[in-house]
Amino acid sequence: MNDTGKAKRALSRREFFKMAGIGTGAAVAASSLQPAKVANAAAAPYTDPAGRPARPWWVKTVDQPTTEIDWAKMKRYSERYIEEEDSGTVRGDGFAGYLGAEEAERLIKQGNDKMKQRLVDNVDGYTLKDHAMSAGQSATSVARSFLGPQKAKTPEERGVAKWSGTPAEGARILRTALRHMGASTIGFVELDENTRKLIYSMDPDGKILEFTDDPIASETETHRYIPNSCKYVIVYTVQMSEEAMKRSPTMTASQTTTGAYSRGAQIAAGTQEFLRTLGYQGLSEASTNALGIAPAFGVLAGLGEMSRLNRMITPEFGPMVRVFKMLTDLPVEPDKPINAGIMDFCRSCKKCAEACPSGALSFESEPYWETKGGWNNAGHKAWFEDATKCRTYWVSEAGTNCGICFGVCPFSKKDKAWIHEWVKAGTSAAPFLASFFRSMDDAFGYGVQKSGEDWWNLDQPEYGVDSMSVVKG
């Protein structure tokens, strides 16, 4: 009996240690299942001299962007509609310009009537409290200005020399400053004879943007003068709430766009004053979407890749960002574009094009050089969209901006579940799996439109976004 008992105990101990060993080994291995998490990354010092955040291995830095560009064919684009040329943005005067004044007026009236009826009928996402939220977000903005508030004391006024450092140090302190003012990701582009073409020829308010040898930027009734020395572009993203945008097209969704634009304007004003205090100039967007082509600068600064949306998609937040840009004469180290397999994925996915109620997005597998109209800027290969169809839907049907394509995009995910990181890595490393990932995205129910009313019952983080997701390496 005793022998048997000892044998049993010995066996039991062996089993115990075996199981414990396996369990410990498995736990250690499991901790590495999520490929991109870095513990306490938020508190860690920069490992890169220019303050570039560590990114997952599947986000590769490349010399040329994944968008093909023919700089010889590219011209500076007017962000204001020019009737004589039938070109420029579809926003503002462009809507009537492209569709005709009478038709535009009819569509606007149709949209306004629908909006009023939805409000009266208390339609989900269009209730009075949804309108109130949108109005509230609009009120959080600060005045945008090309030259900035110019209230901060300059080094001269403080009796000190202006700040000096290497371009890498300049980039690093700007990244830190912008991040603390609310930017999600930050990158830099140095203007040359090619990238200058991405600065608009005319701002949305009709002022001409002109480069000058004068070292000080200035503004008149008709012109905004950019010193040639202001050759560094600061590009930054501001997160939108994925949870809100998945209510698109409603007021619940559009308020996050408005909120992101407001924060973008706050960051711009703050950065302009930051630069002024250092002894440098910061030239910002004088109005929404002014100064230059945001997605193009974003791509060149390595913040993301172009996509079927004809917008930039970031590896971190998918398309759930607004992109802003600013010019400065503070020397900063420029960044390189990236390849995270996003554009490759778009070739076969087409989920956004299928979901677009206006049929504005392309179903072509390959991007193309030919533009769809004067609202597109030639000189690069893209899935050019029919912006008049998109705008018509906004104005006449949705009554507010529409972000369905943003909401359904398989890159629009929160980062809590490990599977998303695996899929993104798989997308980059094995592009042939794109169709499979797209099918699985549908099967798992991602991108389904959610209720605007339910949104009011959610316990959400500040701004409805996860600010920690940007500090993982």
Partner 1 sequence: MKTYTIQVLKRPWYEWVLWAVWFLVEIFVLQNAIASGAELEPRAASIFWMTFVVLLLGGGIVWFVRRARLAK
Among 413, 424, 437, 470, binds partner 1 (CB under 8 A): 413
- Distance, CA of 187 to CA of 131 (rounded, Å): 34
Q: Which is nearer to partner 1, 124 or 273 (CB)?
A: 124
Tell me: does residue 443 bind partner 1 (CB under 8 A).
yes
Report the candidate in 311, 399, 322, 309 with the shortest Cα–Cα distance to residue 356: 309
Q: For the CB of residue 429, give the shortest distance to partner 1 in the complex, in Å.
A: 18
- Distance, CA of 236 to CA of 316 (rounded, Å): 13
Q: For the CB of residue 444, give the shortest distance to partner 1 in the complex, in Å.
A: 4
Please identify, among the stretches 18-26, 83-91, 137-145, 323-331, the one whose residues bind partner 1 according to the rule CB under 8 A: 18-26
Among 22, 135, 160, 429, binds partner 1 (CB under 8 A): 22
Across the strands, what pairs with 324?
Answer: 236
Q: Which is nearer to partner 1, 398 or 423 (CB)?
A: 423
Report the candidate in 234, 198, 202 with the shortest Cα–Cα distance to residue 379: 198
Q: For the CB of residue 442, give the shortest distance to partner 1 in the complex, in Å.
A: 10
What amino acid is encoded at 368 in this protein? Y
Check the CA dihedral 20-25-26-28 and report its sign.
positive
Q: Which is nearer to partner 1, 162 or 414 (CB)?
A: 414
Q: For the CB of residue 16, give the shortest distance to partner 1 in the complex, in Å.
A: 15
Hey, which residues between 25 and 54 contact partner 1 (CB under 8 A)? 25-26, 29-30, 33-34
Is residue 261 a contact partner of residue 268, using CB atoms and an 8 Å limit? no
Please identify, among the stretches 56-64, 225-233, 249-257, 416-424, the one whose residues bind partner 1 according to the rule CB under 8 A: 416-424
Across the strands, what pairs with 187?
Answer: 235
Q: Is 272 helix (H, G, I), strand (E, B) or coil?
A: helix
Tell me: does residue 468 bind partner 1 (CB under 8 A).
no
Is residue 199 a contact partner of residue 208, using CB atoms and an 8 Å limit? no
- Distance, CA of 466 to CA of 333 (rounded, Å): 28
Tell me: does residue 414 bind partner 1 (CB under 8 A).
yes
Q: Is 46 helix (H, G, I), strand (E, B) or coil?
A: coil
Is residue 409 a contact partner of residue 447, using CB atoms and an 8 Å limit? yes
Q: Which is nearer to partner 1, 246 or 372 (CB)?
A: 246
Hey, which residues between 214 and 273 contact partner 1 (CB under 8 A)? 243
Q: Which is nearer to partner 1, 273 or 466 (CB)?
A: 466
Among 38, 160, 216, 448, binds partner 1 (CB under 8 A): 448
Quick note: the x/- pattern for partner 1 over 417-436, rule CB under 8 A, is xxx-----------------
Tell me: does residue 458 bind partner 1 (CB under 8 A).
yes
Is residue 323 a contact partner of residue 297, using CB atoms and an 8 Å limit? yes
Q: Is 204 helix (H, G, I), strand (E, B) or coil?
A: coil
Which residues lie below 8 Å from residue 128, measured CB to CB, with a gap of 6+?
119
Give the other-Cβ count within 10 Å of 193's Cβ.
Answer: 7
Q: For the CB of residue 364, give the shortest distance to partner 1 in the complex, in Å.
A: 30
Residues that bind partner 1 (CB under 8 A): 7, 11, 22-23, 25-26, 29-30, 33-34, 243, 413-414, 416-419, 443-446, 448, 450, 458
